[in-house]
Amino acid sequence: MNKEITLKDLRKAYLRNLFFSTTGWNYEKMMGLGYCYVMMPFMRKMYPDEEQLKTRVKSQLQFYNCNAIMSNFIIGANMAVEEKEGSQSGETITALKTGLMGPLAGVGDTIFGVTWGTVFFSIAAYMALEGSPVGCVIALIAGVLKIFLGYPFIKIGFSEGTKLVDTVGGKIQKVTEVATMVGLTVVGALIPTVVVAKTAFIYKRGDIKINLQTDVLDKIMPALIPVCIVALIYWLLGRKGLNSTRVILILLILSIVLYNLHVLG
């Protein structure tokens, strides 16, 4: 049997990871069962002997938890090591998965779980608010692009093999920091454009009339109230027992009350 790994094998692993990486998720092994399912066609090709296959499959059923997109790096490296070392690769595979799944989960969740959606979908939402249909196209392209990024990742993982640990290890922290800064920058830039909140309070005394918004707050910081609202939301989301739905309800009630008290307008 030809045990050389082909692009067809990599594509099959990529597609299985795309659709079934969380299959059988459980508290004991988390994504371990899904990871094993992703590797099964490759394992059957490598180990036609049933008893040897059973032994090697056990190493793929270990505890595993990682960002689904970044998992492609590990899957590709796993296949490369397994192809090179065969049945002697057990300890190497365990070390590879253990050493990479944590760092890659961190950078994957930061980039694809938070920053990616924050950047592209916030821009798309702002364009939609302005009446431009281009925002919907941007959101669609960003969503599709994120899906297909996994395929080149699995090819890189396969070509790098065990070197991936050293290659990725020194760059993970920098990538995470850059992604975090990009996300924060986009959020900061969108606050004054998307969050609209102004005070309607006007101070009157004799002939003196001071508009709190235009005469005071706009001269200190034009988007001071939106910034305070966003800070309040972040603080509420960090409180125990609160989630996004409850925070939205709190904001709705707070907006109605403050509007009727002529604090906001």
Residue 171 pLDDT: 55
pLDDT in tens, 194-245: 777 888 777 777 777 877 777 777 777 778 888 888 888 888 888 888 888 8
What's the chain's average pLDDT? Answer: 80
Q: Which of 65, 21, 25 is nearest to 39 (CA)?
A: 21
Per-residue pLDDT band for 23 (boundaries 50, 70, 90) equals confident
Residues in the chain: 265
pLDDT over 60 (residue 168): no
Neighbours of 131 (CB within 10 A): 7
Query: For residue 1, what pLDDT band results from cuts at 50, 70 and 90?
Result: very low
Q: What is the mean pLDDT of residues 157-163?
A: 74
**Of 1-10, 100-109, 179-188, the least confident:** 179-188
SS3 at position 30: strand
Determine which of 23-27, 146-150, 159-163, 242-246 has the lowest per-residue pLDDT on average.
Answer: 159-163
Strand (E) or helix (H) holding 103: helix 90-108
**Rounded Cα–Cα distance for residues 33 and 27 (Å):** 11
* CA–CA dist 69, 54 (Å, integer): 27
Task: Using alpha carbons, select from 72, 51, 74, 50 the residue that is nearest to residue 62.
Answer: 74
Joined together, the tokens standing for residue 60 give 């793929």
Say how many CA atoms lie within 13 Å of 79 toward its Cβ.
33
Please give the pLDDT value at position 164: 59
Does 86 have pLDDT greater than 60?
yes
Instruction: Spell out the SS3 assignment of 221-253.
Output: CCCHHHHHHHHHHHHHHCCCCCCHHHHHHHHHH
Distance CA(228)–CA(246), nearest Å, equals 18
- Cα 202 from Cα 51, distance rounded (Å): 82
Q: Which residues of 204-235 are buried (b: 16+ CB within 10 A; e: fewer)?
A: eeeeeeeeebeeebeeeeebbbbbebbeebee
Which is more confidently placed, 183 or 205?
205
CB atoms within 10 A of CB 87: 13
Q: Return the pLDDT at 150.
A: 85
User: Residue 198: CB partners within 8 Å, gap ≥ 6?
Assistant: 213, 225, 264, 265
pTM of the predicted structure, to 2 decimals = 0.63
Over residues 41-83, the pLDDT tens digits come to 888 888 888 888 888 888 788 888 888 888 888 888 888 888 8
| Beta bridge partner(s), residue 202 | 211
Residue 100, H or E segment: helix 90-108
- Among the listed residues 29, 34, 31, 72, the one whose alpha carbon sits nearest the alpha carbon of residue 168: 72
